[in-house]
């Protein structure tokens, strides 16, 4: 290095004889710069330090294990109820249907059986813990394990399926708690970490950035999208910003394999906190409704009707006798404001209305035939989840499962008239090869391999006779259109 510097300086002196002192000085400065040591890459990049965050927040993160008492099938496998099926569907996991390992005996009816594993975090020192509703739904027993390995049986205070938030209570005091952050300050590209129990591995820390905000993937929630590694078992754990504050609850992933694929979603903590407060005070969540079916407003429609920009929620239909009809709302109206808040897109309206206390009389603004009109509406209450699900269970036809991974039910005469079909069966569940082919709940299967389908029982009979090694062609109706789907076996 020194020899190189001397060589450069010799060159500079030679140049100075021809071009003057100023040129020589410039050359000397360049040579000196070439010898300077570059600053460390870490100082330039400013990479975040996660260890302190994990140390500070980790003690308030818990593992949640659930068990239930249920009858077993003859092969020792538990019957899968809707709650368990929802857990596997949420994460894109195949429904377990394997024989018991050799030498393992089925548990007697009524014995506690492990149902699932999730995560949660301590909200208050006296033992209130927040998690996901799908983590604890259907459980007979909820066991909370703290970071210091102490275990407690938890009491479920309440859960809300629509927001996927649940609150449980353990009998303990002086517990470490999390700090709640301001979601409004969260920025796309900001570093965040998750702590939870993926696949039952407790106190696992993963990191990433906020990929997007306000993703419309939930009926009442604008979810936070991140690229933080989230897997089954992370559900209910906290999403934490670089200030060590909880900004969300890790809830869902996008996956084709059941594992992490780079896209995960978290419930904003401000929305979750509002739900938790209602659960703590009343054990349930009350939401408002006005009785309209809505759709987005396209740019072309907005320009053609004089609205200007694509904003608001287009009213497609109005419930007969509902709050909106009584207020004077008509199909074709575009709701642009509700309770003083702007409705920027159609997904905003359910969340704004849902946050209004039922029975409240509020104002709404609609755009109708070229002008704005102010109306007043009395908000009704959304039917509680459990009541609604019980009613569905009473009226829903019995589904029949098949080897194709499809569960179907018969169509009632009213459904046939509405769909304008003579025969067919409704898809209640599609998994495995059927799901990969594009089949989904609500589709109507009209034929299988050119055999017209007339009932769920006949469908089961037709499928049972199929060659399971070859592809199956299904004629499927979805909405007003029909299409052929090819269901290919796994090879």
Strand runs labelled E in 30-140: 61-69, 112-122, 128-131
Assess whether 134 carries a catalytic annotation. yes
**What's the DSSP call for residue 98?**
P
**Residue in the structure block whose two tokens are 């004089």:** 306
- Catalytic pick among 137, 160, 164, 410: 164
Residue 279 and residue 158 in contact, taking contact as beta carbons nearer than 8 Å: yes
Joined tokens for residue 453: 């389908």
**Residue in the structure block whose two tokens are 């642009």:** 336
Q: Which of 279, 228, 270 is nearest to 253 (CA)?
A: 228
* 44 Cβ neighbours under 8 A, 6+ residues apart: none
375 DSSP β-pair partners: 364
Angle, helix 21-35 to helix 2-19, in steps of 10 degrees: 160
Assess whether 264 carries a catalytic annotation. no
Joined tokens for residue 103: 């030498």
159 DSSP β-pair partners: 166
Joined tokens for residue 479: 């909405």
Q: Which of 264, 169, 277 is nearest to 224 (CA)?
A: 264
- 71 burial (CB, 10 Å; 0-12 / 13-18 / 19+) is exposed
**What's the DSSP call for residue 457?**
H
**What's the DSSP call for residue 132?**
-
Phi/psi-derived region of residue 306, left when phi > 0, alpha when psi is between -120 and 50, beta in every other case? left
Give the Cα separation of 202 and 54 in Å (integer).
13
Assess whether 109 carries a catalytic annotation. no
Q: What are phi and psi of 245, to 5 degrees?
A: -105, 145
* H-helix or E-strand spanning residue 24: helix 21-35
Decide: helix, strand or coil at residue 265.
strand
- Catalytic pick among 159, 163, 197, 235: 235
Q: Which of 190, 189, 199, 257 is nearest to 230 (CA)?
A: 199
* H-helix or E-strand spanning residue 325: helix 323-327
Residue 157 and residue 197 in contact, taking contact as beta carbons nearer than 8 Å: no
Q: What are phi and psi of 386, to 5 degrees?
A: -70, -35
- Catalytic pick among 134, 159, 348, 443: 134
Joined tokens for residue 214: 């306000």
Residue ranges in 98-161 assigned as alpha helix (H): 133-136
Residue 136 and residue 168 in contact, taking contact as beta carbons nearer than 8 Å: yes
For the annotated catalytic residues, the residue numbers are 134, 164, 235
């Amino acid at each position: 290095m020194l020899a190189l510097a001397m060589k450069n300086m010799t060159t500079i002196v030679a140049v100075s004889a021809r071009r003057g002192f100023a040129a020589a000085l410039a050359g000397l400065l360049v040579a000196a710069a070439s010898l300077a040591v570059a600053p460390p890459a870490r100082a330039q990049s400013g990479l975040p330090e996660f260890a302190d965050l994990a140390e500070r927040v980790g003690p308030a993160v818990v593992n949640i294990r659930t068990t239930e008492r249920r009858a077993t099938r003859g092969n020792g496998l538990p019957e899968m109820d809707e709650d368990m099926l929802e857990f596997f569907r949420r994460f894109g996991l195949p429904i377990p249907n394997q024989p018991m390992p050799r030498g393992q005996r089925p548990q007697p009816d009524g014995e506690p059986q492990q149902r699932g594993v999730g995560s949660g975090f301590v909200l208050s020192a006296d033992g209130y813990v927040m998690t996901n509703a799908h983590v604890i739904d259907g459980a007979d027993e909820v066991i909370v394990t703290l970071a210091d390995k102490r275990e407690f049986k938890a009491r479920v205070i309440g859960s809300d399926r629509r927001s996927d938030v649940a609150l449980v209570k353990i009998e303990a005091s002086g517990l470490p708690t999390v700090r709640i952050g301001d979601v409004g300050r969260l920025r796309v590209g900001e570093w965040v970490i998750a702590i939870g129990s993926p696949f039952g591995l407790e106190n696992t820390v993963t990191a990433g950035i906020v990929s997007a905000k306000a993703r419309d993937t939930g009926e009442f929630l604008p979810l936070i999208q991140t690229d933080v590694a989230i897997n089954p078992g992370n559900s209910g754990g906290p999403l934490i910003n670089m200030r060590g504050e909880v900004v969300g609850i890790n809830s869902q992933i996008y996956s084709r394999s059941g594992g992490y694929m780079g896209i995960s979603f978290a419930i904003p903590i401000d929305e979750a906190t509002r739900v938790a407060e209602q659960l703590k005070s009343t054990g349930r969540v009350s939401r408002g409704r006005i009785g309209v079916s809505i759709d987005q407003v396209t740019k072309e429609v907005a320009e053609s009707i004089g609205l200007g920009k694509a904003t608001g929620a287009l009213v497609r239909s109005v419930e007969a006798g509902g709050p909106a009809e009584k207020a004077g709302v008509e199909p074709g109206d575009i709701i642009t404001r509700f309770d003083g808040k702007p409705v920027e897109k159609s997904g905003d309206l359910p969340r704004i209305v849902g946050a209004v206390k039922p029975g409240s009389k509020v104002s709404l603004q609609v755009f109708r035939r070229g002008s704005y009109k102010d109306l007043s509406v009395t908000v009704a209450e959304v039917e509680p989840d459990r009541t609604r699900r019980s009613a569905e269970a009473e009226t829903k036809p019995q589904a029949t499962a098949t080897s194709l991974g499809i569960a179907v039910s018969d169509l009632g005469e009213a459904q046939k008239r509405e769909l304008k079909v003579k025969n067919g069966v409704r898809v209640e569940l599609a998994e495995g090869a059927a799901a990969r082919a594009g089949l989904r709940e609500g589709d109507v299967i009209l034929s299988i391999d050119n055999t017209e389908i007339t009932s769920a029982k006949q469908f089961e009979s037709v499928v049972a006779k199929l060659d399971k090694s070859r592809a199956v062609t299904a004629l499927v109706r979805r909405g007003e259109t029909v299409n052929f789907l090819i269901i290919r076996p796994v090879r």
